[in-house]
């Protein structure tokens, strides 16, 4: 009986036909004598070489690298502008090597950055606070003379810092955050974020001086932008409300002093939409989502940035 006949007979054993050469599970992947072509990587392509330990990375060497000032603001250390000062002063180390080049870029995952000996680590979430600053406190993180700082009034585990400054004798609204980009934009003069103050003078202001304040005052660092100025009811002309759109050092005090007035009290009552209403002296609270969004809109954030939370 032929093998084909046995295979096709009912009840007979099934016999598989022989496989064709080069087919099947265990067949060689390529014919003998042929080799897989080698594709050579073009120069400069592929993964970048790892930075040597103890050396700051080269600019642009890592895809996820960011500029050093931006990285420090991401860590809540300070604003980008202040971060640049820290770099130039030689207070920043990348992988244990001091860097002074503002174009230095670091990888937030791979590189280790230190400021004053303390490692800087990017924060996972941002905090936005308002403090009703009392008199005789200074708007710094610490003071070598032992004076009271606003940080002694903030109860949070996260490191935050003031957005701008109020001088020692000025009271009222002071914003604090660990969002360096947010702080930088609020303080940048290009965005003209309004800040409102209540001023108590040693004598009444005539209407002529009110108009001078409204049109701008010539100071040693240039002429101020037009301000919104009004008398406060029952203030007998000595209580003035003023809103400015700049952030010069001691600007409101200098504006009134240039006109021959002594400022007895200066209280910031609002920073953009944020007020101190219902907040005791020395008290803090978190900003509402609406307040944060409005401040960001005033500071030039795009709709895409607002939606992404950047």
The alpha carbon of residue 230 and the mean position of all alpha carbons in its chain are separated, in whole angstroms, by 35
* Collapsed DSSP state (helix, strand, coil) of residue 79: coil
Instruction: Please tell me the distance from the alpha carbon of residue 111 to that of residue 54, in angstroms, as a whole number.
Output: 10
Beta strand 263-271 with 170-177 is parallel
Residue 285 near residue 279, CB atoms below 8 Å: yes
The residues carrying an active-site annotation are: 167
Residue 201 near residue 187, CB atoms below 8 Å: no
3-state helix, strand, coil in the chain (%, to 5): 25, 20, 55
Closest CA to 93 of 56, 50, 51, 66: 56
């Amino acid at each position: 009986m032929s093998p084909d006949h046995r295979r096709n007979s009912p009840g007979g054993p099934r016999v598989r036909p022989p496989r064709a050469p080069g087919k099947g599970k265990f067949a060689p992947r390529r014919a003998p004598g042929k080799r897989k072509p080698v594709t050579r990587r073009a120069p400069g392509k592929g993964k970048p070489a790892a930075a040597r330990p103890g050396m700051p990375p080269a600019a642009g060497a890592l895809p996820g690298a960011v500029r050093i000032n931006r990285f420090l603001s991401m860590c809540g250390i300070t604003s980008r502008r202040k971060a640049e000062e820290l770099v130039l002063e030689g207070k920043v180390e990348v992988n244990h090597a001091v860097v002074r080049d503002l174009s230095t870029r670091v990888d937030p995952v791979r590189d280790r950055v230190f400021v004053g000996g303390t490692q800087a680590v990017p924060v996972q979430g941002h905090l936005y606070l308002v403090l009703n600053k009392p008199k005789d406190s200074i708007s710094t993180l610490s003071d070598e003379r032992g004076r009271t700082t606003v940080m002694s009034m903030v109860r949070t585990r996260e490191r935050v810092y003031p957005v701008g400054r109020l001088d020692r004798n000025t009271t009222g609204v002071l914003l604090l955050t660990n969002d360096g980009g947010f702080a930088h934009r609020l303080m940048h003069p290009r965005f003209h974020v309004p800040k409102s103050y209540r001023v108590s003078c040693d004598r009444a202001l005539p209407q002529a001086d009110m108009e001078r304040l409204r049109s701008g005052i010539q100071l040693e660092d240039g002429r101020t932008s037009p301000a919104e100025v009004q008398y406060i009811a029952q203030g007998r002309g000595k209580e003035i409300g003023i809103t400015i759109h700049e952030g010069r050092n001691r600007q409101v005090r200098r504006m009134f002093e240039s006109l021959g007035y002594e400022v007895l009290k200066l209280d910031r009552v609002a920073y953009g939409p944020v007020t101190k209403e219902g907040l005791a002296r020395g008290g803090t609270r978190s900003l509402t989502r609406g307040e944060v969004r409005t401040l960001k809109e005033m500071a030039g954030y795009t709709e895409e940035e607002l939606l992404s939370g950047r």
